[in-house]
Amino acid sequence: MVRSFDGTPVDLDWLESLCASALWAPSAGNSAGVRMHTIGHELLSQYFEVATDEQWRTSARRADGLQRAGAVVLVTARPQDYLARYQESDKAASGLGVEEAWPVPYWHTDAAMATMALLLLIEQDSWHATLWGNFRNGDAVLNWARIHDETLFGAVLVGRGDGNDVPSRSLQRRVPARAQRVRRVSPRAL
């Protein structure tokens, strides 16, 4: 993840092509309920005005670098598409035709998979990006972007990194090694 950009505008035709490719990611029941909405460089100051507040813009360590992104992709999901799909005859027996029945709401899972695919595609093309979580002002962002009947999963900020990232304090945490987080399940001895 790059959290400090140099302000280079992103070609939206290129970015929208990557978004379309990223939407090949798995979709529960082929519900196709994930959407991606691009915001060009000329609208980024408006986006950040809605997506943040004055305190964040003036005091967050990463505010300046993030606000120099070249484009933003809003990743959204349509839970109603999943509910309708799981009410169809071939899926109805699952009981997942109502939102409360989902132990893990796959509209979030599918949005995460499509977002990861997009991040990898951006990196593959030698651009940079970061996932910016939906922690505040999600409804205001959707309203500003005139997006209705969708929930905001997160935003992907895209651009050219300027090499001035502010390291995350999370990197100082001691965590188990990756190999320690992988475990083979073995059959029990009889």
> Which residues of the chain fall below pLDDT 50?
none
Check residue 172 and give its pLDDT: 86
Query: Domain 12-165 carries which CATH code?
Result: 3.40.109.10
Query: Chain centroid to CA 7: how far?
Result: 21
pTM: 0.91
List the domain boundaries for the chain: 12-165
Distances (CA, A) of 66 to 80, 107, 136: 32, 27, 16
Check residue 133 and give its pLDDT: 87
